[in-house]
Structure 1
């Protein structure tokens, strides 16, 4: 924030529109060090069986010698240590599963309430009724033994890596990073609210953020409403934008404002206007170059530190370095 205030004092920055996006950053951990719930149970059963076998061997050691080179007490201790580590890993997986179930249950109840309200109003809800969430860990749930706060995430190219989701809100006029945070979520649905909290906390001297621009990965009714509550106009794509819009459609007159209080419908109308399309078109050319230059030119593609709090701090340092680099360019211009 101090760097942003300095940029404002140098007349290099005045807030207006923010483009938000995220990029996956490799954690300081290998995905091969991840332990899944199913594999943990399998290894746990194997180790317990081996411990019982070793205990039986120790009891009969006076009558039957152990294999050459085997230290039975050491082998038992090693397996008991592994069992304790697996128990700790399973407890963390179970805790995450309980947190996920709580969130999914709240979302399920909200969807059910919305559909019931539609029925009460005499309207038929679209689509199938949502399935209730399942409690407890799934076989694929896992924890990384090197950096337990990182997550397996899909990355470009269709593969999966042990990563963090680094978010940046970038000013469309100057390409300076205004908001930044690191998430453990593989998708971006829950990253709007943390961004809005940072926007609201910005000093008044920086100016007022008018709109938040993001792709359809950020779009939800809750996020649209949250933007309105924060006094920021949402421009969250409802679907993937088609390329090569017909020329007559691009220059057609705007439709009249919809007579509705529904925040999503009003945003959809705004995105269809010429001004809305022009603003949304700034998204990709604003935030994508920031990620590209940070990764390819500045050479930062992986976290050096472990744990979410330290990853947050590292991403803050990287984006601050970007802002100082950008200020140098803007000052020269």
Structure 2
């Protein structure tokens, strides 16, 4: 008598099998289909009007992409393959198999519409009593661009390559004019070699023009900031009658720097320092996370290597959220976001800023955790008021929430889901893909919160 269960792959089912029966009731795929079916996708449907052949419904394609990103399957080819191999993907696709080109085209075509879908999901989370805005943690993380940093060229290096290519073109033209071409190696086509170098020179010229345009924009931006600082110092000197302390601001230098770079694969990406040391061709992905639910309430992407200028744009995203979602009362952020201007814009938006002024020292004395700072004078500046609040017990407790909200979200997205590199290129496309990532995270998180409730 056998001690093993029988293996039978040949007996047919008496009735046709149903994929519906193969997934547990609390499966993430069921939840995503349920949520997406409840969204208003009429804007996506309108884009299909006038087509000659029947298309896959946008809700089906959106559900496939969201479930893919929520489970670490980002490639459209892998999603297509999963509609054959995975029960969950087959369930979402209702037994159909959209090809990878259909999925990739849908993703590129409707990235802008994802902003509206993103807000609809937040509204649904509120209806499910999973989201209640109040305290928000803001942070940024570097995510690799779909381009190698070895594809980047600096302005100085381009000029060296141009000089070399021009010399080679002149040499090849001279050889082409000789009646006796004994010096030309066998198999070399002089017209083809000349054209190849001329094409590269044309590409180098276009790259230089773009670098020079960026340098001009940078100078105008830095000049405006310099003039604002000079005006502020002059006003302070006139008011106090004393010469302002510190070094006067240094005027920016116009023109291109030899180190200014452009990437030939994704010219809108930038070389950025990454955690752990080193540099990568990357984008700076920003996320504002609700402290109570860990849901992302706003997502953006910037080319800036630091976070200093990202508070005001994120406040604009907050202002665009429906009033029905509630009022954001407190913003938590680390030292990378600190500046007097950022504190002021938060207060102007009636949001209490808790932005670390400096890094906390390790192993601080135990008494510091149980003492309150001295009272502030009534005429204290916004920065002084915030720094004082961060030293209070309530302020320290509130700021401590930052590390256990936005940082775990980034950690799960990058280490658990495995999203460490964008598939799309260009700032606009990348921003849309980051919204798709955050949308997938929100649905994954909502599914977990629903089970906890």
Residue 328 of structure 1: CA displacement? 1.3
Q: Which of 1 and 2 has greater Rg? A: 2
Encode CA deviations 1:47-84: one digit per residue, 9 max, x unaligned: 11111122222222x14443322211111111110011
1:197-216 alignment, distance < 5 Å: 197-216=316-335
1:225-236 alignment, distance < 5 Å: 225-236=344-355
Question: How many angstroms apart in 2 are the aligned matches of 1:48 and 1:199?
Answer: 53
- Regions of 4+ moved over 4 Å: none
TM-score, length-normalised on structure 2?
Answer: 0.71
Change (3 A) 1:152 1:67: same
Q: Provide the residue aligned with 1:23 in structure 2.
A: 141
Encode CA deviations 1:211-234: one digit per residue, 9 max, x unaligned: 111111111122112112222111
Is the contact made by 1:24 and 1:155 (CA closer than 8 Å) also made in structure 2?
A: yes
Q: Which runs of 5+ in 1 are unaligned?
A: none
1:104 lines up with 2:104 in the alignment: no
Is the contact made by 1:258 and 1:269 (CA closer than 8 Å) also made in structure 2?
A: no
1:1-333 alignment, distance < 5 Å: 1-60=119-178, 62-65=179-182, 66-120=184-238, 121-260=240-379, 262-333=381-452
Residue 97 of structure 1: CA displacement? 1.0
Residue 254 of structure 1: CA displacement? 4.1
Question: How many angstroms apart in 1 are the aligned matches of 2:286 and 2:361?
Answer: 24
Give the CA RMSD over aligned residues.
Answer: 1.5
Residue 15 of structure 1: CA displacement? 0.2
Helix, strand or coil for the counterpart of 1:257? coil
Helix, strand or coil for the counterpart of 1:170? strand
Q: How many residues align?
A: 332
Q: Which runs of 5+ in 2 are unaligned?
A: 1-118
Encode CA deviations 1:87-115: one digit per residue, 9 max, x unaligned: 11111111111111111112222222232
Question: How many angstroms apart in 2 are the aligned matches of 1:258 and 1:211?
Answer: 23
Is the contact made by 1:258 and 1:266 (CA closer than 8 Å) also made in structure 2?
A: no
| Bigger RCO of structures 1 and 2 (CA < 8 A, at least 6 apart) | 1
